[in-house]
């Protein structure tokens, strides 16, 4: 773990204790890959709320306000309907709930593809509204000019190649990418283009492992894998997936806990106690003094 303190989560964000350490920076993240090697892999998880950010912050190098919040928080069928306003509201909460990790915020579908200028306007809005340090956007070679445009104007960009969920209507699903030689070559070319355009890091999602390894070896910026390879320069998962909030998760997710089960059992106890008039008990009720 790259941190030197434990967050006291019982303390309000307004008066954090211990005194906040300095937040990691985008250049510090970029510099973790030296001469093609990252000694300690980068740790990234998604976060959508202030409390979630508080609990994750000390353990993570990066917190991603992913547009996966469309499905995870809002129950939408895909990330396509997610708006800039949704991202701004959740991004601001995550920044308020953290003071160590670099907060990266996803640019939602439709907010950046039309032109570099449109992308700048959307990204500037997100950074101003949230205090996040960087944006992430999906896409390969076609997005390279936009990444260069943003990077040269003070907006650090994380790229995202391989399986790009915002393109689900073109891809036709969420299956692993790179099964044909042409597709594998395209993913590698995409990654190289983003690297050359100035992306400070890139997510590689849902690709065959040899492609993830080839990309990681080919690009100078850190790669962050999800459904990719342990040989990437870092890893990311959707927090709710790895905590076991959902019974059905993609094959590449490791469920470290069964939080859905914990909630189910806990709420069943609460419901039983309410129905038996056993809650609230004496400890939870106020009585007249004296």
Residue 127 or 225: the one with the smaller Cβ distance to ligand KIV is 225
Catalytic residue among 113, 181, 183, 205: 205
In angstroms, what is the minimal distance from the CB of 180 to ligand KIV? 23
In angstroms, what is the minimal distance from the CB of 254 to ligand KIV? 14
Residue 5 or 256: the one with the smaller Cβ distance to ligand KIV is 256
Q: How far is CA 30 from CA 102, 161, 229, 239, 269, in A?
A: 11, 18, 19, 23, 48
In angstroms, what is the minimal distance from the CB of 203 to ligand KIV? 5
Residue 68 or 98: the one with the smaller Cβ distance to ligand KIV is 68
CA separation for the pair 286, 104 (Å, rounded): 45
DSSP 233-274: SEEEE-HHHHHT--S---TT------HHHHHHHHHHHHHHHH
Confirm whether 217 is a catalytic residue.
Answer: no
In angstroms, what is the minimal distance from the CB of 87 to ligand KIV? 10
Residue nearest to ligand KIV (CB): 66
In angstroms, what is the minimal distance from the CB of 238 to ligand KIV? 5
Burial of 36 (0-12, 13-18, 19+ CB in 10 A): exposed
Assigned token pair, 214: 């080839």
* 70: enclosing H helix or E strand: helix 69-72
Residue 46 or 98: the one with the smaller Cβ distance to ligand KIV is 46
CA separation for the pair 265, 274 (Å, rounded): 14
Q: Residues interacting with ligand KIV, by CB under 6 A?
A: 46, 64, 66-68, 106, 203, 205, 226, 236, 238
CA separation for the pair 226, 203 (Å, rounded): 7
CA separation for the pair 126, 64 (Å, rounded): 13
The count of C-alpha atoms lying within 13 angstroms of the C-alpha of 149, restricted to the half-sphere facing its C-beta, is: 17
3-state secondary structure of 45: strand
Residue 47 or 214: the one with the smaller Cβ distance to ligand KIV is 47
Q: List the catalytic residues.
A: 205
């Amino acid at each position: 773990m790259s941190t030197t303190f434990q967050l006291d989560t019982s303390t309000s964000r307004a008066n954090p204790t211990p005194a906040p350490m300095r937040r990691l920076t985008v250049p510090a993240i970029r510099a973790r890959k030296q001469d093609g090697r990252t000694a300690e892999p980068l740790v990234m998880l998604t976060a959508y709320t202030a409390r979630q950010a508080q609990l994750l912050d000390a353990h993570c190098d990066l917190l991603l306000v992913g547009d996966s919040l469309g499905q995870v928080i809002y129950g939408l069928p895909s990330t396509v309907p997610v708006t800039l306003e949704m991202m701004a509201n959740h991004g601001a909460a995550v920044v308020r709930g953290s003071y160590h990790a670099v907060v990266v915020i996803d640019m939602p579908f439709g907010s950046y593809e039309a032109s570099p200028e449109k992308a700048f306007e959307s990204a500037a809005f997100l950074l101003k509204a949230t205090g996040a340090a960087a944006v992430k956007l999906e896409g390969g070679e076609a997005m390279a000019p936009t990444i260069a445009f943003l990077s040269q104007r003070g907006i650090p960009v994380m790229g995202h190649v391989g399986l790009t969920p915002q393109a689900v209507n073109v891809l036709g699903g969420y299956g692993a990418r790179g099964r044909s030689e042409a597709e594998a070559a395209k993913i590698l070319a995409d990654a190289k283009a983003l690297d050359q355009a100035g992306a400070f890091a890139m997510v590689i999602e849902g690709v065959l492992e040899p492609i993830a390894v080839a990309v990681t070896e080919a690009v100078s910026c850190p790669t962050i894998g999800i459904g990719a390879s342990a040989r990437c320069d870092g890893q990311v998962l959707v927090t709710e997936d790895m905590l076991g909030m959902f019974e059905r998760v993609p094959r590449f997710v490791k469920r470290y806990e069964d939080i859905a089960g914990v909630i189910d059992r806990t709420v069943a106890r609460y419901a039983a106690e309410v129905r038996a008039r056993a809650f609230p008990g004496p400890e939870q009720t106020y009585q007249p003094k004296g």
